[in-house]
A and B are shown apart, each in its own frame.
Chain A
Amino acid sequence: QKEVEQDPGPLSVPEGAIVSLNCTYSNSAFQYFMWYRQYSRKGPELLMYTYSSGNKEDGRFTAQVDKSSKYISLFIRDSQPSDSATYLCAMGYRDDKIIFGKGTRLHILP
């Protein structure tokens, strides 16, 4: 079993819809949970980070962590065509490497 599992998609949704992106993980020792956005031919850009179970909101983005189920989610409200990108979940330990999921390709249809 991989440490981090993420559906690669692609996921296509109409503009204005709520997007739900998810990852599961197997290692209960992970301390940090992050979501990165990666546009084509660019490096990943940090969107959200958290280190506790529960929800964290930043504008149109909400990150959710459920440590008991080893499940994290990213919700995007009022999705825009500019949100079309690959979204990578990532998890890490303090002072150690970050483990990334494969990424989910998201297309927002105008």
Chain B
Amino acid sequence: ETGVTQSPTHLIKTRGQQVTLRCSSQSGHNTVSWYQQALGQGPQFIFQYYREEENGRGNFPPRFSGLQFPNYSSELNVNALELDDSALYLCASRRDRGLNYGYTFGSGTRLTVV
């Protein structure tokens, strides 16, 4: 197992632009979740994918969307970026459903919107 890898590590975007963040999960990890962590705050749940379908979503607007691919990689897309979207975006994956405690987190992508 090689862990969870996220890219890029840092990113600066302008308000109104679109961004795609990428995550590569461990082989066999069918469930992936994305979290947003603002400075000084705990991670906030964005959404979860299981076997390439979204099966849970937090209080985030539709401009936050995602994809999960058969090769255990996934993407988080954010359209019409706002200044408040500046945060650390974390990807977490696990092997099975119903086992929330088994998540492995990546180191995150630090997004700055100017």
Question: 5 A–B contact pairs at CB < 8 A?
Answer: A6-B42, A88-B43, A96-B56, A103-B40, A103-B42
Interface size of B by Cβ–Cβ distance < 8 Å? Answer: 26
- B48 interface residue per 8 A CB criterion: yes
Least Cβ–Cβ distance between A26 and chain B, in angstroms = 15
- Chain A residues near B42: list those with CB within 8 A: 4, 6, 88, 90, 100-103
Contacts of B40 in A (CB 8 A): 8, 102-103
Using CB atoms, name the residue of chain A closest to B90.
A43
Is the CB–CB distance between A99 and B105 below 8 Å?
no
Which chain B positions have C-beta within 8 A of A88? 42-43
Q: How far is the CA of A94 from the CA of B56 in the complex (A)?
A: 12
Stretch at the interface among B11-19, B63-71, B72-80, B94-102: B94-102
The residue that A102 contacts in the complex, of B41, B90, B104, B106, with Cβ under 8 A, is B41
The CA-CA distance from A96 to B103 in the complex, in Å, is 12
Q: B residues within 8 A CB of A60?
A: none
Count of chain A residues with a beta carbon within 8 Å of a chain B beta carbon: 27
Do residues B56 and A98 form an inter-chain contact, with CB atoms below 8 A? Answer: no
User: Which A residues lie at the B interface, using CB under 8 A?
Assistant: 4, 6, 8, 32, 34, 36, 41-46, 49, 88, 90, 92-103
CA distance A25 to B98 in the complex (A): 21
Q: Smallest CB–CB gap between B29 and chain A, Å?
A: 14
B58 beta carbon closer than 8 Å to chain A: yes
Which A-chain residue is minimally distant from B101 (CB atoms)?
A: A49
